[in-house]
Structure 1
Amino acid sequence: MQLPTMTMEDRNGQKGIEVGQCNNNEKSSLPNNVEPKKTFRSALPQILATSAKNILLLGYGMTLGFPTIVIPSLQPHHGNVTDLREKDTLSLTEEQISWFSSINLICVPLGCLMSGTLTQPLGRKRAMILVNVPFIVAWVMFHYASNVGMLYASLVLTGLGGGLLEAPVLTYVAEITQPHLRGMLSATSSMCVILGVFIQFLMGTMLSWRTVASINVMFPVTAVVALCFVPESPYWLIGRGRVADAEKSLCWLRGWVKPHEVQPELLQLVSSLKSHSPSNRHNVTSVSFTPSCSSWRNYTKRNFLQPYSLVAAGFFFGHFGGMTTLQTYAVSIFAQLGTPVDKYIATLYLGLVQLGGALICVILVHWTGKRPLTCVSTVGSGVCFIVVATYAYLYSSRNSYEWLPMTFLIGSAFLSHVGIRLLPWILIGEVYPSEIRGVASGASGSIGYIFGFAANKVYFYMLNSMTLPGTFWCYGAVSLVGSVFFHFFLPETEGRTLLEIQEHFEGSRNLLKKGRVSSKDPEKLGTVNPALVPDETHL
């Protein structure tokens, strides 16, 4: 099949790159001939755009940590001394508290399922701006809450908002970043959510929960302001037939350059979207690439089913490998095993190493790739849980070696966040074709939260039937099985273009055999990444 001749024009009316007739082989090789600039100036706007999006995720992380600091003040006879007024005016029964701690998570998958369908017509940027509205309303309602209904309604809003942001946030980063930066910048998403939870814990130790709620309003407001200054995804703009706007977006994202400097990449995006949108092969500039969301055929194809299965497996092994349960029930687990420090201090250490592990993942993913990090993460966390299970079976009743379970549980938290806990969130934004990326991202986030909810719900059943050692042995076994699974099925997507990744899942390219990059290219191997080194000649 041949592409029609097409000419692009820049803002000044000058002719850009002209594309003549080319066959399938030429079309497939076109992206490989476009070598993007890798300077700090070209990386800076991508970092800024990602940071604007991360403010939104920081606020979302606070919604996840907020119930933890509210519950003690709402329990009768267990109020915080700094929060006596709220304790006297509003309290919850144990049944109400159980709902208060879970309504948020129940509503997130619903928002995820709606996220893709709302993101596609609105655009990534506009969707991220609008999703701040329920967060702002929720924080105001929390501050003025006078009854249980207001608390529940606020949690529903934060849950829906958290689900709605999944598709635009994940797809935006994948679509604005260059391949050598994508993995690193995508990994900052989970790190910011973890940071938001941790900041909420710190604020809760010093301020009343109503005061914390009022302070939290400034984060979605700041996110709205920041997002107004970043461009829309060029992928989405081209998909809507707005090639001129996509050119302006690329000029901003690649270092505020001239239009002619982004013509090769713009042509690559147009060609890749055109080649995967059969209904739009005859007119790139005037016809939208946006597919009909009512068409289910796109979701029965190999290029959706395979990546969706891979992402779902990432969530499964991440949640049922024990880390979700440990994070939720850390205080009681540390109390049951015994620790040389207070169980709350041990839980604080757990939160710190989670943040540290996520930061290490962000730093290393470019240099090592995803496959090595995932292997180290799953094997390491699996071994840690097996050691703790063996200790609980042999020594827990003797009060011996109390440092051992705390050390290895904290080690499992660190190792899991180095790889497997962040892996599916990184993959979501880059493994799906553009025509289904929004809806598929929302569906992927939804299955992740469902697995997380299920992992927590079955914990007590496992504990009652297998005891704590048996439960932790099971977690260790799941992690080790996960390492084997990813060895055989996880392609190395780091440093690859979105088109190359898509071709892998379509079957025309094998990233499992080829690995990350050629060993003859030390720069691509990550030994040199000029995008991370400030270029004084450009600054």
Structure 2
Amino acid sequence: MASAENEATPLLSNSKNKNKNNIRNGWLFLAAFSAVLGNFIFGYAMVFPSAVIPQLQKEKDSNLHMDVHQISWFGSVFAIGAIVGGLSAMVLNDKLGRKHSIMISVIPATAGFLMITTAHKVWLLLLGRFLTGVAGGITASSIPVYVSEISHPGVRGALGSCPQIMAVFGSLALYLLGLVLPWRWLAVAGEVPVLIMLFLLCFMPNSPRYLISNNKRDEASRALKWLRGSESNYTAELNQIERSVNSQVGIQWRDLRSPFFYKPILISVFMRFLQQMTGITPILVYLQPIFEKTAVSLDPKLDAAIVGLVRLLSVAIAAGLMDKAGRKALLYTSAFIMYLSTLTMGIYNHKTPCDIVNITATVSSVANANEAMASHGISSSTLIPLFSIMFIIFGYAMGWGPITWLLMSEILPTTARGVASGLCVAVSWVTAFVLTQVFMHAVEAYGLFAPFLFFCVVCVVNIIFTAKCVPETKGRTLEEIENYFRTGRTFTIAES
């Protein structure tokens, strides 16, 4: 019987079905929303330069005018702050807990936006961006873990995609507000969700798993009862969590030789590494220069709206399919769509070479762009780069974007979750920073063909990695997932 079990075998079906209808999700959804407001702030702060840089170049105060070198740092210093925040979360998650780590991020976020609001020197703008990056790194490490630990298997997939959805909403909010607000007021507007998040989290419970691991069983029981409802069989879930936590001890360096620890950690780290290697960050950062080099000239505001809407649509699709189609099916689909799109983009630029220009050059004005399109004519081939980029973003956002965050929070063992999640975020942002810098030089040296061909190869590697290394976690409890890595190839938990 045991040998017949595999990743698709239904487990604990009687107890799950018996208690499923008794679970009330209202308070759980409120707790998750309170936490993922941090991702809204993250998405807002990350794309902040897209609306601010054009305004700064028209600023009357010459001290705020930035050259190309300063502009590049204004965009990329956020990633350095996120690395610092991710490393800080390695300690904060285990020492203070997931909820309080998210609340701590309010300090650098508030200070960063305030510094940008009052800045009269470029270095103050850079420092403000760095601090908002620190806040983003902390929330990126803490929120997925918190949401995963307060969720039950029936909704964990959908809630696990919420951080990505909220980050997209944050980016859209920045684009829309950038149409009507001066850059200083954009920073002021960034303070609003920060304060709302802090207020709501004051009334939310800590993660039951964190409370159990810190010998606070009564508080964990109250938290689980509040999250699931008094009529649910929360006691059985609490006992299962307690057995899982009590069976573990603090992680030591020698423990990393055990597959129970090193396999989920390596899978999580490599997924975050491969996620960035698909090229999503440089594509979004250099979207306008890419379109300019491929003869697709659009209003920058229209570009931002198209990208934001495509990202939002695809993440919403992923949220609806996460607990139906499964994580691996979406990862396969996502990588395959990105593979075809990057291959098409590479072939197009190989067949249609462009003059090599500095990718950091200012994008042409809307009037000049329209004249260029009128002179060259709009053909089906001219639309290939636009649709290729749209499908790259679509594929990423429906799979390799949100699912890597979700799987990280699901498969990491409890005792290593805080440290490992911070490590994953740091690896992700180091990769994003380096790749964004290299992309500029590669395009200037070889044209767009080379980087997109590289991204195409990475997508093939992602498909192979998913097939060989990633377990299907749909419908599994966190305890079952931990047991999978402990025993090798089964999710079954022996009831004591």
CA distance in 2, matches of 1:359, 1:467: 34
| 1:238–1:32 CA distance, 2 compared to 1 (3 A) | farther
Report the AA paired with residue 66 of structure 2: L
Residue 25 of structure 2 is aligned to residue 43 of structure 1: yes
CA distance in 2, matches of 1:410, 1:372: 21
User: Are the equivalent residues in 2 in contact too, given 1:338–1:396 (CA < 8 A)?
Assistant: no
1:537 corresponds to: none
User: Are the equivalent residues in 2 in contact too, given 1:340–1:403 (CA < 8 A)?
Assistant: no
1:146-196 CA distance string (max 9 Å, x none): 222322221221122112223321211111100121111011111111221
2:264 corresponds to: 307
1:483-538 CA distance string (max 9 Å, x none): 12211211101111111111222234346xx9xxxxxxxxxxxxxxxxxxxxxxxx
Residue 323 of structure 2 is aligned to residue 369 of structure 1: no
- 1:461 corresponds to which of 411, 433, 441: 441
CA distance in 2, matches of 1:240, 1:359: 36
| 1:425–1:121 CA distance, 2 compared to 1 (3 A) | same
CA distance in 2, matches of 1:158, 1:183: 28
2:41 corresponds to: 59
User: Are the equivalent residues in 1 in contact too, given 2:264–2:413 (CA < 8 A)?
Assistant: no
Residue 284 of structure 2 is aligned to residue 327 of structure 1: yes
Residue 425 of structure 2 is aligned to residue 451 of structure 1: no
User: Are the equivalent residues in 1 in contact too, given 2:353–2:447 (CA < 8 A)?
Assistant: no
User: Are the equivalent residues in 1 in contact too, given 2:89–2:142 (CA < 8 A)?
Assistant: yes
Q: Which residues in structure 2 correspond to 1:41-440 (within 5 Å)?
A: 42-75=24-57, 79=58, 84=59, 87=61, 90-255=64-229, 257=230, 261-277=233-249, 291=250, 295-339=252-296, 341-342=298-299, 345-395=302-352, 401-440=381-420
Which of the pair has the greater relative contact order for Cα pairs under 8 Å at 6+ separation? Answer: 2
Larger CA deviation: 367-376 vs 484-493: 484-493
CA distance in 1, matches of 2:482, 2:14: 17
1:507 corresponds to: 487
User: Are the equivalent residues in 1 in contact too, given 2:103–2:201 (CA < 8 A)?
Assistant: yes
| 1:434–1:132 CA distance, 2 compared to 1 (3 A) | same
Unpaired segments of 5 or more residues in structure 1?
Answer: 1-28, 278-290, 515-539
| 1:166–1:340 CA distance, 2 compared to 1 (3 A) | closer
Larger CA deviation: 181-190 vs 306-315: 306-315
Give the TM-score normalised by structure 1: 0.80
CA distance in 2, matches of 1:329, 1:487: 32
CA distance in 1, matches of 2:199, 2:300: 40
| 1:343–1:136 CA distance, 2 compared to 1 (3 A) | closer
CA distance in 2, matches of 1:197, 1:51: 17
Residue aligned with 2:161, SS: helix
CA distance in 2, matches of 1:507, 1:485: 21
CA distance in 1, matches of 2:32, 2:45: 20
User: Are the equivalent residues in 1 in contact too, given 2:86–2:137 (CA < 8 A)?
Assistant: yes
Report the AA paired with residue 156 of structure 2: R
CA distance in 2, matches of 1:328, 1:476: 19
CA distance in 2, matches of 1:97, 1:403: 29
Quote the offset at 1:66 in angstroms.
Answer: 1.4
Residue aligned with 1:212, SS: helix
User: Are the equivalent residues in 2 in contact too, given 1:377–1:419 (CA < 8 A)?
Assistant: yes
1:12 corresponds to: none
CA distance in 2, matches of 1:148, 1:394: 42
Q: What CA RMSD, in Å, does the superposition of the two structures yield over aligned residues?
A: 2.4
Report the AA paired with residue 51 of structure 2: I
CA distance in 1, matches of 2:299, 2:118: 34
User: Are the equivalent residues in 1 in contact too, given 2:63–2:122 (CA < 8 A)?
Assistant: no
Quote the offset at 1:34 in angstroms.
Answer: 4.4
More helix by share: 2
Quote the offset at 1:88 in angstroms.
Answer: 5.3
User: Are the equivalent residues in 1 in contact too, given 2:338–2:459 (CA < 8 A)?
Assistant: yes
CA distance in 2, matches of 1:343, 1:211: 21
Unpaired segments of 5 or more residues in structure 2?
Answer: 1-9, 355-375
Residue aligned with 1:205, SS: coil
Give the TM-score normalised by structure 2: 0.87
Quote the offset at 1:344 in angstroms.
Answer: 5.0
User: Are the equivalent residues in 1 in contact too, given 2:412–2:420 (CA < 8 A)?
Assistant: yes
Residue aligned with 2:413, SS: coil
CA distance in 2, matches of 1:325, 1:428: 23
Q: Which residues in structure 2 correspond to 1:13-28 (within 5 Å)?
A: none
Quote the offset at 1:50 in angstroms.
Answer: 0.7
Report the AA paired with residue 440 of structure 2: F
Quote the offset at 1:240 in angstroms.
Answer: 0.9
1:416-471 CA distance string (max 9 Å, x none): 11101222211111111111111111111111111111221221333245432232
Quote the offset at 1:347 in angstroms.
Answer: 4.4
